[in-house]
Amino acid sequence: MNSMDTLIFISYEAATSLIPVLAILIILYIKDHRKTDHLHFSSYVLMFEFAVYLVGVYHFTGSGTLYDSLRYGLLIRNINLIPFSNYIFVPAYLLNILLFMPFGILVPLCFKKLDSLPFIFFSGAAFSTFIELTQLLNTRATDIDDLIMNTLGAVSGYVLIKLIMKMLSPKERKDDVAPVMFVLIMVSAFAGRFLLYRGQVL
């Protein structure tokens, strides 16, 4: 696959997730700007950045799609539920941590009401668990080690951004994005990829 083919492939993969999110953000923007106390444009930019991050996570983890399920079925043989029972490859563990650090950074920046360590811990763990379960639909392995490292990454990202914000002492944000937008972005980004992405065909 040459560089142009790779670019087309990645663009198609990203578009399946980002187009549904963009549609939701545009509808919210139009509806919200009829009010006097509407959200600042930077809030929409942050929410879109969060969606772009999700695209990256789905790409690097190889989350399963509808086409995968039709092609492979449910591959329950690729499950490891015993922590650290396989060969411990430190670089892979570090990559899993780094992959989820932006989750802990972006969620409190985008969604003020979700700015808490317990929420980041449980939502990060839930997101990672969901991805691991979707990998039962393709040839990727579902490993509890990934879940542990991903959750650690989300918490690490949250602690990091809180330390940075404490040092910088930024002004209190006035924008208050509804927590339901967190759910809508997560669901729409995955649903678009799940229903529309057929990477093996390309």
Supply the mean pLDDT for the chain.
Answer: 89
Please write the tens of the pLDDT for every residue from 33-74: 877 777 888 899 999 999 999 999 999 998 989 998 888 777
Distance CA 167, CA 162 (A): 9
pTM of the model: 0.91
User: Quick one: the chain helix, strand, coil %, rounded to 5?
Assistant: 75, 0, 25
SS3 of residue 142 by DSSP:
strand
H helices within 62-170, ranges in order? 66-72, 90-110, 117-134, 144-168
Give the per-residue pLDDT at 174: 62
What pLDDT is recorded for position 173? 63
CB 107 within 8 A of CB 123: yes
Task: Determine the average pLDDT of the residues in 121-136.
Answer: 94
Return the sign of the alpha-carbon dihedral for residues 61, 67, 73, 74.
positive
Cβ proximity of 57 and 20 under 8 Å: no
